[in-house]
Amino acid sequence: MKLCIARLSLLAAALILAPSFHAVRAEPDETVIVALGDSLTAGYGLPQDQSFPAQLQAALAARGQTVRVVNAGVSGDTASAGLQRLDWAIPDDADAVIVELGANDALQGLPPDGTKTALAEIIERIQAKGLPVLLAGMESPRNMGKAYVESFGAIYPDLAKQYGVILHPFFLEGAALHDDLMLKDGIHPNGKGVAVIVETMMPKVEELLARTKTKAEG
């Protein structure tokens, strides 16, 4: 089972996403955050202006922040698939990265060790570029069994501790299990659900921006 009906090929995704990836900074003081993820980031089933990157950018603008949030979400991506496209997914002008991957791994019952290894390499390669990372965690469906659920759930706090990245424990916090905030599939948030996710994650995003500013001043 996947988070989307059909997964975009990497080539198709590159063609779709490339224009926004390489946009010139609108303003000299603009901060560029790349949201690297799957359909939860891409905005599956939603108008583009209701996607997570679009709503996060709007929320930051309302707080007086000059930030462009690049939508680097590809529906159906596992952590390994995200790793495979990492080189072209992070533009040269990126200042920080939000990593939201792993939901499809859990839905497919992929070994947690493989997911952790892929996420670790993603973090290492982003940090090698000198960019701060916000890691958005995911939880496994409870029907996968206690051992799997616990093993999968440990991935994100373990990586955050190992690499010193900012952790938002559960991307869908505040929206999951609320029918009025989710699409009919029960997996993806609707526009209102995304707004809740953005609001819930905002303190961590502001911490990410603070790290970006510190790095720039350093």
Known catalytic residues are 39, 185, 188
Other residues' Cβ atoms within 10 Å of the Cβ of residue 49: 11
Beta bridge partners of 72: 36
DSSP notation for 166-180? EEES-TTTTTTT-GG
CA 121 to chain centre: 15
Rounded-to-integer distance, Cα 215 and Cα 208, Å: 11
Find the DSSP H helices in 66-111: 79-84, 86-89, 103-108
